[in-house]
Each structure stands twice: as C-alpha cells, then as structure tokens.
Amino acid sequence: MALIVQKFGGSSVASPEHIKRVARRVADTVDQGHSVVVVVSAMGDTTDDLIDLAVKVSPKRSAREMDMLLTTGEQVSIALLAMALQDIGKDSVSLTGWQAGIRTEAVHSKARITDMDPTRIFSELKEGKVVVVAGFQGISDGGDITTLGRGGSDTTAVALAAALKADLCEIYTDVEGVYSTDPRVVKHARKLQEISYDEMLELANLGAAVLHPRAVEYAKQYKVPLMVRSSFKPTPGTLVKEVATMEKGIVVSGIAHDLNVAKVALIGVPNRKDNLQLVFNTLAKESINVDIIVQSVVHNDRSDISFTVTKDDLTRTLEVLTSLQSTLGAKEIVCEEDLAKVSIVGAGMISNPGVAAQMFQVLSENGMYIKMVSTSEIKVSCVIDAADVHDAVRALHTAFGLDAVEAATVAK
Amino acid sequence: MALIVQKFGGSSVASPEHIKRVARRVADTVDQGHSVVVVVSAMGDTTDDLIDLAVKVSPKRSAREMDMLLTTGEQVSIALLAMALQDIGKDSVSLTGWQAGIRTEAVHSKARITDMDPTRIFSELKEGKVVVVAGFQGISDGGDITTLGRGGSDTTAVALAAALKADLCEIYTDVEGVYSTDPRVVKHARKLQEISYDEMLELANLGAAVLHPRAVEYAKQYKVPLMVRSSFKPTPGTLVKEVATMEKGIVVSGIAHDLNVAKVALIGVPNRKDNLQLVFNTLAKESINVDIIVQSVVHNDRSDISFTVTKDDLTRTLEVLTSLQSTLGAKEIVCEEDLAKVSIVGAGMISNPGVAAQMFQVLSENGMYIKMVSTSEIKVSCVIDAADVHDAVRALHTAFGLDAVEAATVAK
C-alpha cells in the first residue's frame, strides 16, 4: 500500500461529468489499496469568468483581493469532487490551501511555499478518507489567502508529496506523457518511459507545456518521483526522477522548439566595461526576459551585442535600446523577427562531447543557417529561420535515433 | 465618529453595477467620518447556481461539502466589493468568516455562532480601512468552514456589531423599512420610525420577511440597535431597539398575515394523559412545525384536538395522525386548507387588556368567522378563511389607527 498524490488540472474537472470521471479514476487507485491525496484546479473557465467580473467592478485590482476572488475557483472544485467521491462510496473530505497547512510568503499572485504542516491531512488519511486539496493556494503568516501563480497546482501537488513523503506524485494531463518532441510536428515522436529532473527542467523551460518548471524544480529538490499521465487513458505515462535509466544508444532525450523568438543586435558598441551591465540591467528593470546572449568583438575597440527576447517584448526592447543608444555609443540597432529556437536535451550529452557538433552538422546538411548558439551541460539550442524549424526538429529527431516505430497518437 | 456595521443582501450585490453602487453607499458613510464594517451575501443567484452544480455531481451532498461549496459565494462578493471601494479611493480589505474571527458550533448548514474574535477587524479598522466581511459563514473549532443557515448574513452583521460594540447595525434591503402591514395589501401602510425587538420578533416570526427572527433575537440579546433601510433610497428606515418610543394612541404597531396555514383536527380523542404528548412528539420527530393548538373538551371523557401546520406539511401530518389513530382511539381525523392567519402585534397591548376583544369585534363586524385564536403578551393571532384575509388586514389597520396619510410606495 502506497501513499499517492494525484493532481488534476482545470480541463480534467471542467464539468460535473468530468468531475465524476476524475472521482472514478481516484476510486480505482483507492481500490488498489492505496491512500490518495488529490489536488485539483478550478473548473475549466472559472478563473477567466472571475477575472471578467473583477474587470467589470474595477480597473484597480489589488493582488490581495484578486487572490481572495480567484481561490474560490478551487474551493468549488474540491467540494464537488469530495461529493462525487462520497457518491461512489469513497469517504472523502475537501481541504482549502489553508486547511491543508500550505504556508506561503506574504506575497500575492505569485507566493512561494515556505512551509507545510500536514497534520490535518495525516489525520484525515488515518480515518481512511480520500483528501481533496485545493491547488494553487496557501496562507501567509498574517492569515491572508495567497496564490502560487502560474503552474501553481502542479507545485501544490509536488510540495504535498514532499511534505507527506508520498511514494509517487501523479500529474494527470491531456497528453499521455512527456514526448521526445512535439507529436504535432514529428509524427513518430516517442513517449519517454523515464526522464531525469534536469532534462525535464530544460524541456519545461524550452516550452514543453506538460509540467511547470517550478514544480519540476521542487520535485528535484525534494526527490519526489513524478508520473505525467493522461486523464483520459489508462496508459502508464512518463516517470520523472533523479536519474533516468538510460536507453541504449540514446544520448539526446528530447527535442524542443520555440517560435516566439526575436533577435536584437547593438552594432558597433565601444568596449567599455559597464556597457553590458547597463543594457541588461535596464532590460531587467523593465521585466524583459533575455534568453541567448552573444557578444562578438568586431574591431579592437568595438563589439556587436546580440540577444533574443520573446516577440511580445520586441517593441519595448527596441524602445529601451533606443533610449540607451547615445549613452552606449552604439552605431546601429537592428532586429530580426522570423526566427525560432530548436534545442536538443539529454543527460547523456555530458559524457558525449560530440553532440553539439553533430547537431550543427545535421542543421547544416539540411541547408539551415545557424544564427546563434547557446549551450548548457545537458542542452544545446540553435536559433534558425522560423521557416526551417519543423524540418529541423524532424531531421534532429531522426538523426539522434528518437523516431518511434509507431506514430504517436496526438491527444485532444 | 461612530462605528457602523452595514449589511447588504444578495439582491444589493447582484451585479458588478450593484456592487459599485454599494461601494458608493459605504463611501458616503465613511465620508461622514464613521468607521465602517460591511457584511455582504453572495451575489444574486450565485447560491442557486452552486446548488445546481452540486445536484449535477451527486445525489448525496454532505452538509460539510455543501458549506465548503456555498461559502465561495460570499468570498467572491467581499473581494469584488473591496476592489470597488479601493477603486473610489477607500482603503479596504476583505475577510472571510474565519478570517473575521466568527467561530461557530461544529454543525454544518445551520451552525450557531459560539464566539467572536474581533482582533483582526479591529487592527484593520485602526489602519483606516473599510472591512468587508463575508456573511453567512464561520469556522468550527476543528477548523472546518460552516454556514449559519437561513438569515445567516443578518445574523453575521448583528453578531459583529455586538462583538465590536458598534454604535449601529444597518440592514440594507429592498424595502424602505418595517411597515405597519404589507404595503401590497394595504395601500396606506405606515413605515414605522421605531419598533421594539419583541414586536419585531413577533412580526418576523409572523412572516414579515424584512429581518430574520434569529438576527432579531441576537440583536435583542446583545442590545444592538438595528436600522432597517433601503439599499436604493437614502430615506431613514426603521430603528429596531429595546423600547420603542410609543406613538400617541398607538397600541398596535403592526399587522401581519400568513396564507400558508392548514388546520387539522382529531375528533373524539379519549382523555388519556399521554395522548397530547404522543401526538406532538411524533410530529416533532418528523420535523413538522405546529403553530396554534386548541384542545376542547366535548364530553366528559373525550376531546377534540385541533392545530395548524403549514400547507406543505399537511400530507405528512395526516399520514402521522392516521398511523396514530388506533393507538389514540380518535374517532375521526379532519382537515381544512383554505385558511389564513391574521395577527396584530404591539408592545402597548400589555397595558391595554381590551385589544384582543377589539380585534374579535372588528373581524365579526366584517362578517368573518374566527376558527382559532392564539395570544401572547404582545400578539393576538386569529385563523380565518383565506378569502377574507386581505379585507381583515385592511379593516384592522384602519380600526387600530395605523393608516398613513399618504400611500406607501411599494419598492420593487
């Protein structure tokens, strides 16, 4: 008998029918003799509906009051799921974030969990109940209701699993697991049986939307085994754990791509030691996230500084740079929009130094021009023309031996 | 500068526009230099919508989980009202029942308040904030969310006013105050300037839906002055307090009527000392509320027992009596449905013994047959034919000198 934390997102509890299906799914696990703690998000569009209401009431919406408002969404879900479980004979109890002992910073809309007090959950489990916990929410030391921000319910599930020393944390979602690449791009994408936290973290940060990076970080920190699996099918899913069992000959685990990439370059910037920090500090103050940065020395006294931002941030980035241009003494500001980033991720790279070179070769053989490169221990990213990116993903998927025998079934 | 508790019901916060209007109303009071605590109910139909959801999820709906579900309604209202107040420059903070320190019995759907800890409210008021509190809800010693049942938000407001030692508790509603009788029946109904707790309690119990009897009882117990006034008009309303200033020559303050009355009679019941308790204990166990009871001795050894119940309970009442008939030895069970109860209420009756006789005379002069009578210190009720009841109310209203000079404006 194991203790399992199961998390179901908003699309899994979108209607009364969905909630009843989730209840049956949870009951199956109980019938296998396990203790279960369920974490749920707000039903489908509830959060958007509540935001609409707030917009109609006031243009000023304090973060504290938005948290007060939005946390009702999960509270509705937990009550309904507890009823659905009771209806099929499973004793159960719903708990809000504060009742479940989820303590956070006194920050609204994006609080981090500071502490967990699982006393109440343990006492309910001891009475043989399924405990249904509201995701995404907690309580500050001052007694205010807080929310964890994006990816919040995943984080709640992982944090609970850590505090309860659960045997497994299952994240139910609308895909069957973590794929070697986007099955919508590569028909023969392979569902991974296992993946390491670090690889998952790179993939999550590269836009594989299956798990939120914060939840993966938390899982890595507390060594919580995560299972990503389908809400709709009983198939096994992908296990995320400390060190994944390496499949023979597989160096690269996954290939990610991102079409939301714009490149900006400052041309002919005089080499002064504070120029780089001036550019990137100013951008940081404007909350503009910079991804890949490349500085190339052109002449002895001048460099070109290029970097990527998301397309949404491009206009503001150019405004910032224009305001700095004379201070920097930059000759020119240029930008390029129709770009994409393709990345290979794999823990096996560390011991295989030729992987980056192999990636460059595949792209070059396919006539693709690499505009920027960025590497980490387990990742290589290249910026290329947006028009080439799907072909690049397919070519790399085949070249690194990831193609599955059977075509993936794309959920949804 | 006074401390004022203001309560707005569901129809006063039914839409974002309504909420903004309530915010302006609260802001007016703040601008007069007062500290304000606002109690709100769930928006318009929210509670019904949540019940519909629960019905779709499960035929079994545990009271605990229904409380968890329904309390989200007020939580939405408080967040939105706090935002609306902030939007017009009034610093404010919303508090759920548990945050406001409203402790209740560990009973769901109809908990009674056991204790109030106003620490948080006082500290927020000290910071110059308007405190917006969720009505209808509290927390049990075990940390579970509870609800106060029908009339709950009125009770929250009165209990808060008592705990905070507020100078006044204002109940905003869709009528302009407490009337001498239903303005829909008597055009010249008079809005009372003042009424005593006891009179209000009788009127509330007799179906004047302005205030819930529990809230009035609470106000009487803690001597909280209550002002019942309109959400829509700035008119003064009716003040409910310990002893109302008696208007000259006014013995009767109000006239109430109730059309939901059925009469049942057990004919020829042998006079055994346990027969009465057997009948009424059995009805009580079935949660059937009995109102007026009359026992009349017909012969030396047999009586007729008659009593009134609501029309909804008539069928079940007859079933109970039929099952008891042979045990009781009753000859016959009869019932009558097209009945109504008309009542006169007034603290002045205590010192005016002829009031009941005057009521009987008015009814008899108008050709109405009195079927049952029930009296208390400040109330006389008569059961008459339903067809006569509106005429009876009008005749009594005139006879006891209650007709106003101008016709009442009927709100809504």
Q: Could you write out the three-class secondary structure of chain B?
A: CCEEEEEECHHHHCCHHHHHHHHHHHHHHHHCCCEEEEEECCCCCHHHHHHHHHHHHCCCCCHHHHHHHHHHHHHHHHHHHHHHHHHCCCCEEEECCCCCCEEECCCCCCCCEEEECCHHHHHHHHCCCEEEEECCEEECCCCCEEECCCCHHHHHHHHHHHHCCCCEEEEEECCCCCECCCCCCCCCCCECCEEEHHHHHHHHHCCCCCCCHHHHHHHHHHCCCEEEEECCCCCCCEEEECCCCCCCCCCCCEEEEEEEEEEEEEEEEECCCCHHHHHHHHHHHCCCCCCCEEEEECCCCEEEEEEEECHHHHHHHHHHHHHHHHHHCCCEEEEEEEEEEEEEECHHHHHCCCHHHHHHHHHHHCCCCCCEEEEECCEEEEEEEHHHHHHHHHHHHHHCCCCCCCCCCCCC
Q: Is the pLDDT confidence value at B380 over 50?
A: yes
Burial of A147: CB neighbours in 10 Å, binned 0-12, 13-18, 19+: buried
Q: Identify from A19, A65, A108, A140 which residue to disrupt to test chain B contact, counting B C-beta atoms within 10 A and taking the largest count.
A: A65
Q: Is A29 annotated as a binding residue?
A: no
Q: Which residue of B has its CA nearest to A81?
A: B57
Interchain pair B83, A54: CB under 8 A: yes
What distance in Å separates the CA atoms of residue B208 and residue B385, rounded to the nearest whole number?
20
> What's the DSSP call for residue A175?
S
Q: Is the pLDDT confidence value at B353 over 80?
A: no
Percent of chain B with pLDDT over 70: 96
pLDDT of residue B86: 97
Q: Is B106 on the interface with A (CB under 8 A)?
A: no
Query: pTM here?
Result: 0.82
Interchain pair A99, B58: CB under 8 A: no
Helix or strand or coil: residue A41?
coil
Confidence of residue B212 (pLDDT cuts 50, 70, 90): confident
pLDDT of residue B338: 92
pLDDT of residue A150: 67
Q: Which residue has the tokens 């059961």?
A: B383
- The mean pLDDT value for B317-333 works out to 93
- The mean pLDDT value for B56-75 works out to 95
Q: Is A173 annotated as a binding residue?
A: yes
Confidence of residue B54 (pLDDT cuts 50, 70, 90): very high
Helix or strand or coil: residue A107?
coil
B295 within 8 A of B276, measured Cβ to Cβ: yes
Q: Is A24 annotated as a binding residue?
A: no
Tens digit of pLDDT per residue, chain A (412 long)? 899 999 999 989 999 999 999 999 999 999 999 999 999 999 998 999 999 999 999 998 899 999 999 999 999 999 999 999 999 999 999 999 999 999 999 999 888 899 999 999 999 999 999 999 999 999 999 999 999 976 789 999 999 999 999 999 999 988 889 988 888 888 888 888 999 998 888 887 776 567 888 889 889 999 999 999 998 888 889 999 987 666 556 788 899 999 999 999 999 998 887 888 889 999 988 888 888 888 887 777 888 889 999 998 999 999 999 999 999 999 999 999 999 999 999 887 877 778 888 999 999 999 999 999 888 888 899 999 999 999 999 999 999 988 877 665 554 3
Q: Is the pLDDT confidence value at B411 over 60?
A: no
Percent of chain B with pLDDT over 90: 62
Helix or strand or coil: residue A32?
coil
Interchain pair A58, B83: CB under 8 A: yes
pLDDT of residue A225: 95
Condensed to tens digits (0 to 9), the pLDDT of residues B224-254 reads: 999 999 988 888 899 999 876 665 567 888 9
Q: Is the dihedral of CA A128, A130, A135, A139 positive or negative?
A: negative
Q: Is B21 on the interface with A (CB under 8 A)?
A: no
Residues in binding site of B for ATP? 7-10, 173-174, 179, 184
Condensed to tens digits (0 to 9), the pLDDT of residues B13-47 reads: 999 999 999 999 999 999 999 999 999 999 998 99
Nearest Cα of chain A lies from the Cα of B101 at a distance, in angstroms, of 11
Nearest Cα of chain B lies from the Cα of A42 at a distance, in angstroms, of 12
pLDDT of residue B245: 65
Strands A254-270 vs A226-230: parallel, antiparallel or unpaired: unpaired
pLDDT of residue B242: 87
- The mean pLDDT value for B337-364 works out to 88
pLDDT of residue B244: 63
For chain A, the first-to-last Cα distance in angstroms comes to 33
Which tokens hold the place of B390? 């509106």
Higher confidence at residue A176 or residue B208?
A176
The class level of CATH for A3-173 reads alpha beta
Q: Is the pLDDT confidence value at B412 over 60?
A: no
Confidence of residue B303 (pLDDT cuts 50, 70, 90): confident
**Nearest Cβ partner of B57 from A64, A84, A99?**
A84
Measured between beta carbons, the chain B residues lying within 8 angstroms of A79 are: 54, 65-66, 68-69
Condensed to tens digits (0 to 9), the pLDDT of residues B149-187 reads: 767 899 999 999 999 999 999 999 888 899 888 888 888
pLDDT of residue A406: 66
pLDDT of residue B207: 60
Interchain pair A83, B72: CB under 8 A: no
Confidence of residue B321 (pLDDT cuts 50, 70, 90): very high
Chain center to CA of B32: 30
Homologous superfamily (CATH) of B255-399 is VC0802-like (3.30.2130.10)
pLDDT of residue A286: 85
Condensed to tens digits (0 to 9), the pLDDT of residues B121-144 reads: 999 999 999 999 999 999 999 999
What distance in Å separates the CA atoms of residue A99 and residue A118, rounded to the nearest whole number?
9
Q: Identify from A72, A98, A131, A139 which residue to disrupt to test chain B contact, counting B C-beta atoms within 10 A and taking the largest count.
A: A72
- The residue ranges of every structural domain in chain B are 3-173, 255-399
B146 within 8 A of B69, measured Cβ to Cβ: no
pLDDT of residue A138: 96
Measured between beta carbons, the chain B residues lying within 8 angstroms of A78 are: 68
Q: Is B247 on the interface with A (CB under 8 A)?
A: no
Q: Is A287 on the interface with B (CB under 8 A)?
A: no
Interchain pair A86, B145: CB under 8 A: no
